[in-house]
Structure 1
Amino acid sequence: MAHPDSAAPVAAGPNPLAPAWLRVPADANALAPGLWSRTTKRSDGELIVGDVSAGALAARFGTPLYVIDEDDARSRAVEVREAFDDAFAEIGSAAKVYYAGKAFLTIEIARWMDAAGLFIDVCSGGELAVALAAGVDPERLGFHGNNKSFAEIDRAVEGGIGAIVIDSLQEIDRIAAAAERRGVRQSVRLRVNSGVHAHTHAFLATAHEDQKFGIGLDHAVDAVERIRSHPSLAFRGLHCHIGSQIFGADGFAESAARLLTLHKRLLAGGDVAELNLGGGFGIAYTSADDPAPIGELARRIAETVAAGCEELDIPVPVVAFEPGRSIIGTAGLTLYTVGTTKDVPVAFQDDGEIAIRRYVSVDGGMSDNARPALYQADYSARLANRTSQAAPALVRVAGKHCESGDIVVNAEYLPGDVEPGDLLAVPATGAYCWPLSSNYNHVGRPPVVAVRDGEARVIVRGETIDDLLARDAAYDPSISSTRSTAKERSQA
């Protein structure tokens, strides 16, 4: 079947099953601005990333495939750091930017972030090991987590990690004991709950929080006194995290105001060099998303901190941030191959009127992107191997797993002639997709490939069936090979 690449696509009306925010595109081949990495484009109808075509990537590495635009990731890391450096220099202070490794951490990515001048935040012994394996200076690492094991604490202290974020009263004594055993003074921050919950377009401020992280503001002074009572601990400052996928600065402003009031009280008992306001800066996953530019957010937060310090008559501290998604999220996309399509009639009115939803099933799913199943997260998609003149059709991109909730893209308009064998690209999968991936249904996790200047290289090897079987303690290779041989003979 021929698929012309030139003429404009046929117009189509909205499908009544589509969510209100989803508009029928004038061109179902167009790449919405803000959703794709900066080197992503089309050439002769095919999607190109880092000067490598989607078809070449699929042919060489197979699908599903995580693709990271290396130049995009590196440049965004520098831009975020410079945005906060510049904003806080304007108010006579300085900023520290930690890359939040939980978004996506590999040895290569850790090296990119380090080269961009970022510190790195880890939250497990495994993430710590990755950062150290990348050669990152331990002094430039921060360690989070609400239940760090004794072994993890010992490893962090022994390795000379720059700061450990204390999340509970028990951790104060555990970290102090580990530092004392090694004859060192360990720098720590205290995570507190400001009572501010920031969301995409609004924030809710409450007096108390019901969550597993941090210590309430009303207990923070006593906790800091306890930290300062240990000669083996050096209190660096407060830490707070107000949420994820935040589009504006209002939540940060409210949280900063509350923390600065506490910061002033703590200054009466000793030095408080820093204030960590966390991360959570959002990105666009669909054409309906409109996050504020990072430079604007940095400037507004810096102005808020400066005004708060002036009102309280205290020096402006060094302010730290922990972006992750906003650096790596848009740098990534996932390539899939379409396996089957089916049109499903759906009644959308009480009188039984029917509309059609097209299910497009791909060779991945919730094992490589759990966010739609976990959080009902919305994503977008485009044909990657060609363009089409066909009228846009409402599709739901489904995965291959044995779950009705295995949805990759809940609602999108694609050319109506999407068919088996097509390549599909889902943008903005650089954050929280590979880290949350699983072997559900005994599916191997896909490889991760970095593309740059026409070159592609594997930075995380994909898993094979042999990898999965090798972890099963009862696996006997001779059994499966014998049965395969017998089957082959019977079919000869």
Structure 2
Amino acid sequence: MVKTNTQGHLTIGGCDAIDLAHNFGTPLIVYDVTKIRYQFEQFQAAFDETKINYEISYASKALAIKAIDQVINQEQGHLDVVSSGELMTAVAAGFPMAKVSFHGNNKTRAELNLALDQHVGTIIVDNFYELTLLEQLLAGTASQINVMLRLAPGITAHTHEYIQTGQVDSKFGFDIASGQAEQALKQVLASQHLHLIGYHAHIGSQIMAVNGFSALVKKLVKLSANWQEKYGYQPAVLNLGGGFGIQYTANDQPLLPKNFIHQIVTDLKAEIAKTNLNLPAIWLEPGRAIVGTAGYSLYTIGARKEIPNLRTYISVDGGMGDNIRPSLYQAKYQALLASNPLASPTQTVTVAGRYCESGDILVKNQPLPDTSPGDILAVLATGAYGYSMASNYNRVGRPAVVFAENGQAKLVVKRETASDLIRLDLDYLN
């Protein structure tokens, strides 16, 4: 729901979007922190109603900055990281390492060593190479690390092929059908250094229906029961990943967290009742569902190009450098005029970015009221995978990030300057 103030301006976290743009400059990414907290608490409340042990593990790849890690920690959350950079961001934010899990399909020796040194709570193991590295790093010590096995369950989410992850033909996880997963299980159970706490699987992103999760629960419980009979091991945790969809446009109809969670837990209890297994804890890894709709990208409108009987372009001072998703996998967004977000449209335009690519289009065929150069355009629901996938293409600095809550705005990431961009360059001729 779009909120406005007495001037009719868009507000974010109780702050006037026009004032934010003027005070911090554009492009600017602004987060409504109350929305972040609300989304996280919706997941917690839904689980609390089911009376099951759980963890909400924020997938920090959606937005990995100190400020969001600190908010998640305030909300008593768990944190999922996928690189040494995300891990060290969590360390810098003061996040408790016992509540961190470390993902990734090609963790390096250095990254795994860092995770061990920082006493990361759980490493989610993706392949045999990683098992070998962990055994080498822990050899000759009395140390033990909690691990999960990431499994490729052979379940495909109905979403864009770039964000499907659970199918057999995937770079992620130990394949179940070929026997790789069972081989990995035996290897971990035989290890003195690896303490297996459960299984992980992830089927994709921007998922709008619960049936894929239901199928995943049934498959993992059946697999767990089979492996319990063969090896005497049953998981304490089933991590079902994330991928919960959000509303980018009016065509998106996402489920509420409680709809996902209540069905997942109902299915789990029904399937467990058919076995000799104890009821495991459930971990989920929402990222987009926590920060996506809380984020707004503010741009200043510049040039206009009208092609009679074809299209009108308005260009803004950002684009694929701060939000590559439309160019990468045709993601769709909605935009509005921050000075009058409820105004009736008088035109249909395509919002183009400033980067030297024809594909640098943020929003196609967007109805808007009359616009002029200097107006502030707000693109909605850019909180996930915008800043975290931002680049310095065309030698343009990444935008600033502001957190807004209860009418107070705080700069949490500085805007990159030209000096920042050349800081690592070295002279060739000297």
Same fold (TM over 0.5): yes
The residue correspondences of 1:24-103 to structure 2 (distance < 5 A) are: 33=1, 40-87=3-50, 89=51, 93-103=52-62
Q: What is the alpha-carbon distance in structure 1 between the residues aligned to residue 290 and residue 298 of structure 2?
A: 20
Q: What is the alpha-carbon distance in structure 1 between the residues aligned to residue 58 and residue 343 of structure 2?
A: 42
Q: CA separation of 1:201/1:378 partners in 2, compared to 1, >3 Å: closer, same or farther? A: closer
1:403 alignment counterpart: 357
Greater shift after overlay, 239-248 or 310-319? 310-319
Q: What is the alpha-carbon distance in structure 1 between the residues aligned to residue 228 and residue 74 of structure 2?
A: 34
Q: CA separation of 1:206/1:453 partners in 2, compared to 1, >3 Å: closer, same or farther? A: closer
Q: What is the alpha-carbon distance in structure 1 between the residues aligned to residue 142 and residue 331 of structure 2?
A: 47
Greater shift after overlay, 54-63 or 69-78? 69-78
CA contact (8 A) 1:445 1:463 kept: yes
The residue correspondences of 1:313-462 to structure 2 (distance < 5 A) are: 313-345=276-308, 355-386=309-340, 391-415=345-369, 417-462=370-415
Query: Is the partner of 1:198 in helix, strand or coil?
Result: coil
Q: What is the alpha-carbon distance in structure 2 between the residues aligned to residue 131 and residue 453 of structure 1?
A: 25
Q: What is the alpha-carbon distance in structure 2 between the residues aligned to residue 130 and residue 97 of structure 1?
A: 19
Query: Is the partner of 2:38 in helix, strand or coil?
Result: helix
Q: What is the alpha-carbon distance in structure 2 between the residues aligned to residue 262 and residue 386 of structure 1?
A: 55
Q: What is the alpha-carbon distance in structure 2 between the residues aligned to residue 427 and residue 125 of structure 1?
A: 30
1:231-252, Cα deviation, whole Å (9 max, x unpaired): 1110111100000000111000
Q: What is the alpha-carbon distance in structure 2 between the residues aligned to residue 94 and residue 169 of structure 1?
A: 30
Q: What is the alpha-carbon distance in structure 2 between the residues aligned to residue 460 and residue 207 of structure 1?
A: 34
TM-score (norm 1): 0.82
CA deviation after TM superposition for structure 1 residue 471, in Å: 2.2
2:70 alignment counterpart: 111
Q: What is the alpha-carbon distance in structure 2 between the residues aligned to residue 142 and residue 472 of structure 1?
A: 34
The residue correspondences of 1:166-205 to structure 2 (distance < 5 A) are: 166-200=125-159
Q: What is the alpha-carbon distance in structure 2 between the residues aligned to residue 122 and residue 65 of structure 1?
A: 25
Quote the sequence identity (%): 40
Q: CA separation of 1:190/1:344 partners in 2, compared to 1, >3 Å: closer, same or farther? A: same
The residue correspondences of 1:145-156 to structure 2 (distance < 5 A) are: 145-156=104-115
CA contact (8 A) 2:152 2:166 kept: no
Query: Is the partner of 1:43 in helix, strand or coil?
Result: coil
Q: CA separation of 1:471/1:382 partners in 2, compared to 1, >3 Å: closer, same or farther? A: same
2:185 alignment counterpart: 224
Query: Is the partner of 1:284 in helix, strand or coil?
Result: coil
Gaps of 5+ in 1: 1-32, 346-354, 477-492
CA contact (8 A) 2:15 2:404 kept: yes
Greater shift after overlay, 151-160 or 397-406? 151-160
Q: What is the alpha-carbon distance in structure 1 between the residues aligned to residue 131 and residue 353 of structure 2?
A: 45
Query: Is the partner of 2:67 in helix, strand or coil?
Result: helix
The residue correspondences of 1:175-324 to structure 2 (distance < 5 A) are: 175-200=134-159, 209-217=168-176, 218-268=179-229, 269=231, 270-324=233-287
CA contact (8 A) 1:80 1:327 kept: no
Q: CA separation of 1:44/1:220 partners in 2, compared to 1, >3 Å: closer, same or farther? A: same
State the one-letter code of the partner of 1:411: N
Q: What is the alpha-carbon distance in structure 1 between the residues aligned to residue 246 and residue 294 of structure 2?
A: 11
Q: CA separation of 1:293/1:390 partners in 2, compared to 1, >3 Å: closer, same or farther? A: closer
Q: What is the alpha-carbon distance in structure 1 between the residues aligned to residue 39 and residue 160 of structure 2?
A: 23
CA contact (8 A) 1:208 1:216 kept: no
CA deviation after TM superposition for structure 1 residue 267, in Å: 2.2
Gaps of 5+ in 2: none
CA contact (8 A) 1:179 1:233 kept: no
Q: What is the alpha-carbon distance in structure 2 between the residues aligned to residue 357 and residue 454 of structure 1?
A: 39
Q: What is the alpha-carbon distance in structure 2 between the residues aligned to residue 471 and residue 210 of structure 1?
A: 39
Q: What is the alpha-carbon distance in structure 2 between the residues aligned to residue 208 and residue 281 of structure 1?
A: 17
State the one-letter code of the partner of 1:288: N
Q: CA separation of 1:207/1:332 partners in 2, compared to 1, >3 Å: closer, same or farther? A: closer
State the one-letter code of the partner of 1:246: I
Segments ≥4 residues shifted beyond 6 Å = 205-208
CA deviation after TM superposition for structure 1 residue 206, in Å: 12
TM-score (norm 2): 0.94
Cα RMSD (Å): 2.2
1:489 alignment counterpart: none
Q: CA separation of 1:475/1:421 partners in 2, compared to 1, >3 Å: closer, same or farther? A: farther
1:122 alignment counterpart: 81
Structure showing greater radius of gyration is: 1
CA deviation after TM superposition for structure 1 residue 43, in Å: 3.3
Q: What is the alpha-carbon distance in structure 2 between the residues aligned to residue 153 and residue 46 of structure 1?
A: 48
Q: CA separation of 1:179/1:396 partners in 2, compared to 1, >3 Å: closer, same or farther? A: same
State the one-letter code of the partner of 2:252: D
Of residues 117, 130, 134, the one that matches 1:158 is 117
State the one-letter code of the partner of 2:203: I
CA deviation after TM superposition for structure 1 residue 63, in Å: 0.4
Q: What is the alpha-carbon distance in structure 2 between the residues aligned to residue 407 and residue 207 of structure 1?
A: 30
Q: What is the alpha-carbon distance in structure 1 between the residues aligned to residue 410 and residue 115 of structure 2?
A: 31
